Amino acid sequence: MTQSKHNALLLVLGVIFVWTNPSCFADNVDKLFLSQAVSNPQSPLQRPKLEVAEWIALGDSYASGVGGGELLEDRRCLRFNDAYPIQMQSDDRLLEPIAARKFTNAACSGATTQDVLDWQLLDSEDSQLMYGSRPAFGTPQFATITIGGDDMDFFDLVNNCIYEFIPTRPCQEQLNHSLQLLHSPNFTKGLDTALARIIEKGRKAQGSSFKLYVTGYSRFFNDDTDRCSNETWSVWSGWPGSQPRLTKELRKTLNNMADDLNQAVSNAALRAQDHGVVLVPWSDETHGNRGCEERSLDAGNEDTNAWYYQLTSHDSDTEKGESIRHTIARIIDPLVKDANEFVKKHHEENDRSPVEINPNITTYQDFRHALSDAHNWGDQDGEKQNALIQIVRVFHPKTQWQNLIARKILHEVKKSGFKSMIDSPPLDNA
C-alpha cells in the first residue's frame, strides 16, 4: 500500500471514529485547546476577546439599590445586591464571563451631582468609616448613572409631605423649596457639569468609544383615583394636629415634580448626546404598580405588584413599625424611652416641632445622618439598622423595578454597538 493510500485509509477510519465517538473527540479537542491556552496565556483560545471587559455604576440611592435584596456593605452608601447595576453585571446578555468582567460600584445613597464629582470619579480608591468603599473610577468602557433627586431635596418632600419622620417644614413650603431648586440655574449646571466630567474621565481612558447611560425616575402614585385621598402615611398618628393626607392634589403635584425632574435629566443627557451620553428612554413604566392603585388602598411591601417600598408600619409586621417609631423618637429626643413618651412629653410642651426639640436636625439628611451615627456602623445593632433601612428605602424601587431599569439599560447598550452583546430575544418592556 502506498503512503498516500495509507493516509487516506487512516483519515476514513478517523472520520468513522469521530462519527461514532463524538464525546471522546470533544474531550480531546478541549484538552488540546486548554494546553495551548496554558502554554500561551495571551492565546485567544483561552477566552474570546470581548469588548465589555470593564464598566462602572455611578449615582444616588436609586443606583445603589437601597432596600433591594440584601445590604452588601454596612455603611452609609447603602449598596444592595438587587440594585440595577448588580443585576446588569450578572445578566448573560453581557457575553464576557462574569468572573473576567470588571465591575466597579461607586453609587452611593444620598449622592448629589457634586458628590459624584467629589467621590465617584476618584483616581485611586478611598475608604471611609461612615461611607465605606470609595472605589477608583478605573478604565471603564461605559458607565451608568441615576442622579438629580437629591439635588432637589426629593426625600425631604417624602419626609415633610407624606411620612413626617421628622417634619422640618410645612409640606407646601417644602414643595415650593424643591420646585425652586429644580428650576434653578444651579440645578441645570450641576447636571451638565457632572455628565461632562464623567465623559471627560471616561474618554481619557477609552477614547471616543466611551458611553454614559443616563436613567431617570418615575411617578409614584395613581393620581386619578380618590380612593386614598383621606389616608395618611404619617408615622406620628398620635402627634397633635392633622397629619398630611394623600389627596389627589398632593399626588398630582408630586407626580408632576417627578416629571419635571425627568425632563431636566433628559434635557441634560440630550445636550451631551454628541459626546457619548445616551438617554435611557423612560415613560410611566410603573403604571399599575404605584401607590394608591385601585387594586388596594394600601398595598404595603407584601404586595408584589407594588414596585416601590413603603414603610414597614403599613405591613402586617406592626412590631417592626413600632420599633421604627421608638427609634425615631429617641433620635429626636434622647431623653425619652419610646414613641409614646415622646408624644406625651412634647404634646404637653405646646406641640413643639421636632426641629425645636432638636435644633441639630433641620433637614431630612440631618435626620438620616443622626440615625446613621446612632446605628454605629459595623456594630450589629439590629433595631437601629432595621429602622435605618426601613426609613431610607421608602419610595425606592423594589427588585422588580430595578430589574426593569437593568433591562432597559442593557437594551441601550446593545443598540450602541457593543459587539459583546449576544443576539437575544427582544427585552420585555424595553
pLDDT score at 73: 76
Q: CA angle, corner 183, sides to 366 and 196, nearest 5? A: 85
Residue where the block lists cell 451608568: 144
291 Cα distance to chain centroid = 19
Alpha helix (H) residue ranges in 40-167: 61-64, 84-89, 113-119, 154-158
Q: What is the CA radius of gyration of the chain?
A: 27
Q: CA angle, corner 147, sides to 142 and 151, nearest 5? A: 150
Query: What gap in Å lies between CA 339 and CA 330, rounded to an integer?
Result: 8
Q: Are strands 132-134 and 126-128 parallel, antiparallel or unpaired?
A: antiparallel
Query: What gap in Å lies between CA 30 and CA 291, rounded to an integer?
Result: 55
151 Cα distance to chain centroid = 16
pLDDT score at 365: 78
pLDDT score at 180: 97
One digit per residue, the tens of pLDDT, for the chain of length 430 reads 555 555 544 444 444 443 444 444 333 333 332 333 333 333 333 333 336 789 999 999 999 999 888 888 767 888 999 999 999 998 877 777 777 889 999 999 999 999 999 999 999 988 766 677 789 999 999 999 999 999 999 888 998 899 888 878 889 999 999 999 999 999 999 999 999 999 999 999 999 999 999 999 988 898 998 888 988 888 876 565 667 889 999 999 999 999 999 999 999 999 999 999 999 987 666 777 788 887 654 445 556 677 888 875 444 345 555 677 788 888 888 888 887 787 777 765 545 555 567 778 877 778 877 777 765 554 455 566 677 788 888 899 999 889 999 999 998 998 887 754 444 434 444 4
343 Cα distance to chain centroid = 35
pLDDT score at 235: 81
Q: Is 58:116 a contact under the CB 8 Å cutoff?
A: yes
pLDDT score at 133: 77
pLDDT score at 387: 73
Query: What gap in Å lies between CA 150 and CA 178, rounded to an integer?
Result: 10
Predicted structure pTM score: 0.80
Query: What gap in Å lies between CA 47 and CA 214, rounded to an integer?
Result: 31
The order of strands in the sheet holding 54-59 is: 102-105, 54-59, 142-146, 211-214, 277-279
